[in-house]
Structure 1
Amino acid sequence: MASFRIAGDQHLKGEISPQGAKNEALQILCAVLLTDQPVTIHNIPDIRDVNKLIELLGDLGVQVKQLSPSSYRFQADQVDISILDTADYREKASALRGSVMLLGPMLGRFKTGRIPRPGGDKIGRRRLDTHFLGFEKLGAKFNFDSDESGMYHVDASHLKGTYMLLDEASVTGTANVVMAAVLAEGTTTIYNAACEPYLQQLCSMLNRMGAKISGISSNLLTIEGVDKLGGTDHTMLPDMIEIGSFIGLAAMTQSEITIKNCQIPQLGIIPDVFKRLGIKMEFRGDDIFVPAQEHYQIESFLDGGMMTVSDAPWPGFTPDLLSIVLVTAIQAQGTLLVHQKMFESRLFFVDKLIEMGAQMILCDPHRATVIGLNRQQQLKGIRMSSPDIRAGVALLIAALSAKGESIIDNIEQIDRGYQNIDGRLNAIGAKIERL
């Protein structure tokens, strides 16, 4: 198990480029299974979850060629479905939350699929019902082994398009059903579909491969099934979660940071939410410049009520940035209520921030109140452990702003979602040592 040793009270300065989007990568990489033609993907982040998924594709028989540090060519013309029955596949897939995204392409192209109960962050209940209910609507039948193997077996020999109303606007659930439906017979209509930029990217890529998807960027998708898909080239968006993390980092550490090539129109309300915390920023072309700020003040609602930031399906605020908003508010002036609606365990790292000196109240598993310190006192360094990807980076931001030295254990969680985060931050003035 690796750790970070962080020297606190560092003011950073310089330019930093966000990695390719992790959440987009997990969908796009699985989509290469839908064709036997070459698919080239650019701006792939070099992070643990993505690298494990690429390894898993190789195990399935996909030819993988790395063209540059962030570009790969995939060709799934020799896929061996029998691999799905091996213990090695079960072990690797169960350790990776994104492995569930393999199921839709396998059902669409090979008419069968197997997937173990996937792993990932321990942030609360993350049900798969939306995926399976969608597959069932298309005509798939599945069984679950209740023994130690915990395998889902799905028969999709008679996939037919249909109308469905998703029980929740799940991004991964929508993407999985879309990938199964593009090769199903007839027309599929998906209402209450997720419409995040990453899903828009997936649908646009599939259309370039020969799919017929309309309604992209809305919550009503119509998919006319086709017999076969071809190859394509695809470039992934920058990671909006990294961009938000760097905005919060700049504010907490009084740093002057320019975040490069942000694809600002695809960020939705993310910049506006950080502006409500009082953080100044300038859009310079497609770059975001965050000046060093000694003070930033949280806005109030028009009626004088306390500002609340909560998560919601796109175009609402992404739940992956609530941990960053929470930690950024520590040194603001004012009070903020953070309401995490989707995951009941994602705020349980608040105790570490309180131990560092933050003024917070964990109201319940879904809500926390932050009383901003307004630089009247500084956080102090402690030893702590990263419980999940987003909380890990929030703790890293807190440690960089704190007085003294901090150690963060279990940084494998951070490495799952952030590419060489220590090296990139050290390049602009941080002092992070990997132990």
Structure 2
Amino acid sequence: MSQFKIRGGKPLKGDIVPQGAKNEALQVICATLLTPEPVTISNLPDIVDVRKLIDLLAALGVKITPHSPNEYTFQADTIDIDYLYTDDFRRRGAALRGSVMIVGPLLARFGKGYIPKPGGDKIGRRRLDTHFDGFIKLGARLRGNPGENFYGVETHSPLQGTYMLLEEASVTGTANILMAAVLARGTTTIYHAACEPYIQQLCRMLNSMGARITGIGSNLLTIEGVTSLHGTTHRCLPDMIEVGSFIGLAAITGSDITIRNAGVPYLGQIPSVFRKLGITLHIIGDDIHIPPHDHYEIDTFMDGSIMTISDAPWPGFTPDLLSIVLVTATQARGSVLIHQKMFESRLFFVDKLIDMGAQIILCDPHRATVIGLDRRQPLRPATMSSPDIRAGVSLLIAALSADGTSIIQNIEQIDRGYQNIEHRLRLLGADIERIP
């Protein structure tokens, strides 16, 4: 297993461009299964999770033509549906959380879809009930034994459009049900749907393929089923999580960084939340400039009470950036309560930050109070292991702030979500190397 060796404690400077959006990429790649015609997708992030999904589709029979590490053409005209019964499929599918989103397209087009219990981050429970409840409402039958961790849905007649109220605004659940519904007979209405920019992008891509989806950007989607879809071209948005990561990195290291082509119209509350930490952001067109900060002070609420930053379904603040906000707050002036509502294990990496000298009180699995050090005391270097993608990058940011040499192990987790991160940080002046 590889590790990063980081010599931190110095400011960085320069421009950086965010990669394509990981969460969008996993959805739109799965959507290529809905048509036998070619679909070309550009601005895909060259990361482990995307490459694993591409390999899974290739094993399923999809013809894949790479044009660059970030652009591929997919043609699903010779799908081997029997591959779903193989041990190789179980192995590949279980290694990737995003693999669950092949079920909806396969069910819609071939009448069956299976998936082993998918892997991914160890950040708490991520239920699949929303996905399969939606498939059942469309007319599919559930197959599988929970004890075997292998699930499937089948139908011997075309899926039928219906009304459904989702139990939770699950992003992957909404995407999966949406992809099944576009080829169903009649009208499907999905209420309490996720409405993240990545879902909006999926809807636009499907409409460009001939689907009929309205209500895009809201939590009420209406899908008029069609008999078939055709090919298209699609470009992924910039990754908002990378944008937020680079904002936090610039602030905590006192760096002068400009994020180019940041996809500002799609960032939602991200700029305002970092401004609540006292961070100055200059938005110029589609670029974000973060000037050097000697100090940054956390706001309080109007009555003077401690600021609380929490996650919520879009347009609320994304849970993927709470780890970054928490690390950034460790060197701010003031205190903040971080409330991670969605996942009960995502804050468990704070013990590593405490070992580095951060003042953090882990109140319970969902809440942590950060007492900012206001740069009076730099974080100490440490040897630590990355538990998941976002915590891993948070620890990387902390190490770049720490005065000394840190080691981050299990960086394969970081590679799952961040493209060639050490090279891109070195271009800003970071002293970081990958050690096999």
The normalised TM-score by structure 2 is 0.99
Residue 236 of structure 1 deviates from its aligned partner by 0.3
- What SS does the corresponding residue of 1:28 show, helix, strand or coil? helix
Residue 156 of structure 1 deviates from its aligned partner by 2.6
2:302 is equivalent to residue 302 of structure 1 = yes
Distance 2:2 2:350 in 1: 22
Could you say which residue in structure 1 is the equivalent of 2:291? 291
Distance 1:154 1:197 in 2: 28
CA offset digits 1:211-267 (Å, max 9, x no partner): 000000000000010000000000000000000000000000000000010110110
Structure 2 gaps of 5+ residues are none
Distance 2:391 2:347 in 1: 8
Distance 1:35 1:290 in 2: 43
Distance 2:194 2:306 in 1: 30
Could you say which residue in structure 1 is the equivalent of 2:155? 156
**What is the letter of the counterpart of residue 338 of structure 2?**
V
CA offset digits 1:136-178 (Å, max 9, x no partner): 1101111223454x21121133310000000000000000000
**In the comparison of the two structures, how many residue pairs are matched?**
434
2:219 is equivalent to residue 219 of structure 1 = yes
Matches within 5 A, 1:270-419: 270-419=270-419
**What is the letter of the counterpart of residue 156 of structure 1?**
T
- What SS does the corresponding residue of 2:330 show, helix, strand or coil? helix
Distance 2:146 2:305 in 1: 49
**What is the letter of the counterpart of residue 362 of structure 1?**
L
Distance 1:96 1:86 in 2: 16
CA offset digits 1:316-345 (Å, max 9, x no partner): 000000000000000000000000000000
CA offset digits 1:380-431 (Å, max 9, x no partner): 1010000000000000000000011100000000000000011100111001
Distance 2:85 2:49 in 1: 22
Distance 1:182 1:2 in 2: 43
Distance 2:155 2:204 in 1: 25
Could you say which residue in structure 2 is the equivalent of 1:269? 269
Distance 1:156 1:324 in 2: 43
Could you say which residue in structure 1 is the equivalent of 2:210? 210
Report sequence identity in percent.
68
Distance 1:415 1:291 in 2: 28
Could you tell me whether the CA contact under 8 Å between 1:379 and 1:398 is conserved in 2?
yes
The normalised TM-score by structure 1 is 0.99
**What is the letter of the counterpart of residue 365 of structure 1?**
P
**What is the letter of the counterpart of residue 107 of structure 2?**
L
- What SS does the corresponding residue of 2:4 show, helix, strand or coil? strand
Matches within 5 A, 1:238-277: 238-277=238-277
**What is the letter of the counterpart of residue 156 of structure 2?**
S
CA offset digits 1:179-215 (Å, max 9, x no partner): 0000011100000000000000000000000000000
Structure 1 gaps of 5+ residues are none
- What SS does the corresponding residue of 1:331 show, helix, strand or coil? coil
Distance 1:146 1:300 in 2: 47
Distance 2:367 2:155 in 1: 41
**What is the letter of the counterpart of residue 225 of structure 1?**
G
- Runs of 4 or more consecutive aligned structure 1 residues displaced over 4 Å after TM superposition: none
Could you tell me whether the CA contact under 8 Å between 1:108 and 1:156 is conserved in 2?
no
- What SS does the corresponding residue of 2:133 show, helix, strand or coil? helix
Distance 2:243 2:380 in 1: 26
Could you say which residue in structure 2 is the equivalent of 1:237? 237
Residue 69 of structure 1 deviates from its aligned partner by 2.5
Distance 2:369 2:274 in 1: 17
Could you say which residue in structure 2 is the equivalent of 1:67? 67
Matches within 5 A, 1:126-137: 126-137=126-137
